Amino acid sequence: MDTGRSVETSAHWGTFLVDVAADGASVAARPHADDPDAAPAIGNAAAAHRHPSRVARPSVRRGWLEDGPGADDRRGDPDEPYVEVDWDTALDLLAAEYRRVRSTYGDAAVFGGSYGWGSAGRLHHAQSQLHRFLNRTGGYTRSVGDYSRGASLVLLPHLLGADGTLALRRRPVSWQHVADHTDLVVTFGGLRRSNTWVVPGGHARHRGSDLARGAAATTHFVALSAQRDDAWDELGAEWIGVMPGTDVTVALALLHVLVTEGLADEEFLATHCVGAEEVAAYVRGESDGVPKTPEWAEAISRAPAAALRDLARRMAAGRTLVNVVYAVQRGEAGEQAVWAALTLAAFLGQVGLPGGGFAHGFGSMGDYGVGLDDGRLPVVDQGRNPVPDLIPCARIVDLLTSPGGELPFDGGVLRLPDVRLVHWAGGNPFHHHQDLRRLRSAFRGVDTLVVDETHWTATARHADVVLPVASSLERDDVAAGAGDTRLRVSRAATAPYGEAREELWILGRLAERLGADHDEGLDARGWLERIYEEWRAAPGSPPAPDFARFWADGGLDLPASPYPPEDAAFAAFRADPVGAPLGTPSGRIELVSSTIGGFGLPDVGRHARWRPPTAWWGATDAATYPLHLLCNQPTHRLHSQHDMGAASASTKVAGREPVRLHPADAAARGIAAGDVVRVRSAQGSLLAGAVLSDALMVGVAQMHTGAWFDPSAPEVADCVHGNVNVLTRDVPTSTLTQATSGAHVLVEVERHDGPVPPVRAFEPPVLVGR
């Protein structure tokens, strides 16, 4: 292309370069020359920049414009037209609706839906901007937790205390610890290279892969997973196949070997833990009559008993790190796997040793284990929310469909408010959430759905008011992620598309109409200088130049975090459990939690247990849907972002999201590689393109999440593009954690021999003038 200039910009998949054509319209994206492991998602940025699915002008769904707010089954209809209006009209309409809802139903009737992945910038962070606006205009019903770690975020504070849980995230065992000290890493779930490309806020350079390669030179890895390639090749990981959802049985079997062969660290259990005797009795079968032997586990998980027995002995013979990836807890009773793995690590007695103990996140995020720094980064003050109402984020459908209902959560009961207005920004629930029939029905029941968006996503296509937002290539910002090496300037490459505006401006003008002050009279440049200078002046910040110098230099190198061995998580607790106790009732690791037991919950007890998921264990659906589908994060995009881009498109088969099948499962169904297939579950159906691989266990299929939802041919399938969330169940992990269980689901796959409808996921809706 005729390059006019190049700019450095940042996204959650890292910092990269954008070449802007001389005419200022088209762009090309390329990795930084010194990024050792650039993310493929960079290749999606160019196509997304001026794609036909961009939202050009404020748009109002015609049914809402003509008939007013209220429940409407036309919401989300592929043929429902939108009326393009000017900014004043859109903001006046929206301000009037905010006033109506707040005055009639109260501030809790507003739900602020933002999952925070919309922008990697420190200023133009959709979640921060929206929550600041809502707090300044009266407050809102909020969500807590996240889809990635929802179950463990509730469970672990009971077992490790709040600070101990934070230590697992902020100061975990590092890759350098593993390289220097660890003999064996045993990971429940894989260590995927693609996940190291992604960090909230992005990283200046990707370091995770290089650090992991270094660890592989000195450390042996064992991956307990249904996919052989769940750990990237360079780790040389030993694979033990485990059926999805059965990780607890494997952990209990390993515990059984430690207990019955005298390999447990009894001294550590006595001085640093609570409940070891009760757990051991359960593992031996004394409390329920079922010894948790490797043979017992093999019958459920299909992991060979001999391999598990040998693995347990190897774990006890050297320095061992037990890792649980985030995906393992995203299933029914998902918190039990995290609890069981922590219990296993405690019985080995190595918690707090350099390179040993327990980790929850290796292979799940690019900043995990690379040397996190505790220093704060520039942030926008969101203010205080005067409304106390909240939900766990995965229970959005329950909130919208059960006003006045009750939801058990973390030992208490939440009362669900009557939400009438939903304002969503920086996220796409059609990627994150499960059972899209339920989600669509819930959205159709609210009075008004407002979405701030760059593109006509499925969420935007269900909205009543769509506000066009400038993309990260169209606005200046400051970028950095946790543990980053550099606080950097992320410069706008081009002017905003159409009439798109920064959310700072949009919400500022909306706040003015509501008698509030969102932007305090500052434009984006003024805010960037303000948050930078506040950060620079804060105690503990590194030496930094003034904003003008920082901006001219393009960034500032941040001090390295060397991760000395004595700074490993739980080192102080290990050295002195009395003088440096955990924040639990006992001050120790609570393998048995009297607090959780005291909640009297029907599905979570005092310690880790095998609780067969009702969705598939012995279920009648198992005969109709005999394949176990794993639904994991994509390799060539972040979530659903820029699915129309070149990198994402390169993974498609017949223009649809691929489904991987074992050759034996494919042959039994007459399916060949490249066939268009129909995947069915009890919740819905989709079309996908078949890929065959013996890296899967027989009976297991796999699809990536994030294909844009396309309901344009319901006579063929609920989604003809391959969005797995039409298949997954919208049920909570448990009454304790209320997190998502969407990581796997029972399905059947069959060759689709009928007409194949076109994919319309990336087409904008019908747009008409007023």
Active-site positions read 115, 117
552 Cβ neighbours under 8 A, 6+ residues apart = none
Give the pairing of strands 142-144 and 184-188: unpaired
Pull the structure tokens for residue 100.
């109506």
Q: φ and ψ at 743, to 5 degrees?
A: -80, -20
Q: How many helices (H) and strands (E) does the chain have?
A: 25, 30
Beta bridge partners of 390: 142
Q: Note whether 64 and 448 are within 8 A (CB).
A: yes
> Roughly how many angstroms between the first and final C-alpha of the chain, as a whole number?
38
**In whole angstroms, what separates CA 624 from the centre of its chain?**
30
Q: For the packed helices 247-260 and 305-317, what is the interaxial angle rounded to 10 degrees? A: 60
> Where is 512: in which H helix or E strand?
helix 503-513
Closest CA to 42 of 9, 71, 82: 9
Please say whether the beta carbons of 85 and 770 come within 8 A: yes
CA separation for the pair 193, 40 (Å, rounded): 12
Tokens of 636: 């060539």
Q: Which residues pair with 632 in a beta bridge?
A: 704
DSSP state of 206: -
Count CB neighbours of 560 within 10 A. Answer: 10
Torsion 350-353-358-362 (CA) sign: negative
Assigned token pair, 54:
């961009």
- Give, in order, the Cα–Cα distances in Å from 653 to each of 657, 686, 755: 6, 14, 16
Distance in angstroms (rounded) separating the CA atoms of residues 173 and 167: 10
State how beta strands 477-479 and 220-225 pair: unpaired
Helix (H, G, I), strand (E, B) or coil at 259: helix
Q: Which of 640, 625, 642, 652 is nearest to 728 (CA)?
A: 625
The whole-angstrom separation of Cα 66 and Cα 701 is 46
- How do beta strands 14-21 and 3-11 pair? antiparallel
Label residue 284 exposed, middle or buried (CB < 10 Å: 0-12, 13-18, 19+). Answer: middle
Residue bearing tokens 């005797």: 277
Contacts of 619 (CB under 8 A, 6+ apart): 746
Contact 670, 67 (CB under 8 A): no
Distance CA 38, CA 42 (A): 8
Q: Tokens 């299909």 sit at which residue?
A: 302
Per-residue DSSP letter, 121: B
In DSSP notation, 692-746 reads: E-TTBPTTEEEEES-PPP--S-TTT-SBSS--GGGTS----S-TTT----TTEEE
658 sits in the region (left: phi over 0; alpha: psi -120 to 50; else beta) called: beta
Distance of CA 574 to the CA centre of its chain: 31
C-alpha to C-alpha distance for 380 and 378, rounded to whole angstroms: 7
| Amino acid symbol at 501 | R
User: Comparing C-alpha atoms, which of 674, 749, 631, 657 is closest to residue 710?
Assistant: 657
